[in-house]
Amino acid sequence: MIEDTIPAWVDGQLTAVDKMQVHRLGLRHKAISVFVMCNGQVLLQQRALTKYHTPGLWANTCCTHPHWDEPMATCAQRRLREELGITGLGLNPVGQVEYRADVGNGLTEHELVDVFVAEAPLSLPMQLNPAEVAATRWVDLPTLIREIGDAPQLFTPWLRIYLTEHATQIFGTDVQ
């Protein structure tokens, strides 16, 4: 499959579709999201300023679209390595969520997301890919909820959705 295609549903059939076309049409497509945790804190990433949507916004540890026929856990491990240089974490699958969100510039994310959580040390070694990630930080969930309430425009739509609609599934607790 071509690198710029992602698995999306067209007329009920999973098909390889150009990534930009998927987002322009708001097609439902496969994705993964990872939350790396340490003692109740979550590792956030600030998306690189060169990203084609939501540049500079804070998001969960990492997320992406799988390659065609790529197992979702393999995709999650690959993306942790590609974006943050993180390797060797055990990923715990916590289920799927689906959301639809306007991400600006006429683009829509309509994702069926396999979500993974990993525990890591606060001193987790990282090597950020500047084409993907501008910065990272650890934050506890109550602080993150407060920050999103005070300045939602600084966070990706999907992170806001995860915390308001899927927190119990992802974190094992209601964070509201």
* 111 is a catalytic site residue: yes
Q: Rounded to an integer, what distance in angstroms lies between the CA atom of residue 7 and that of residue 65?
A: 8
Three-state DSSP class for 133? strand
* 62 is a catalytic site residue: no
Q: Rounded to an integer, what distance in angstroms lies between the CA atom of residue 142 and that of residue 140?
A: 6
Catalytic residue from among 62, 63, 83, 109:
63
Write the DSSP string, 15-70: EEEEHHHHHHHT-EEEEEEEEEEETTEEEEEEEPTT-SSSTT-EESSEEE-PPTT-
Catalytic residue from among 98, 109, 111, 119:
111
Q: Active-site residues: which are they?
A: 63, 111
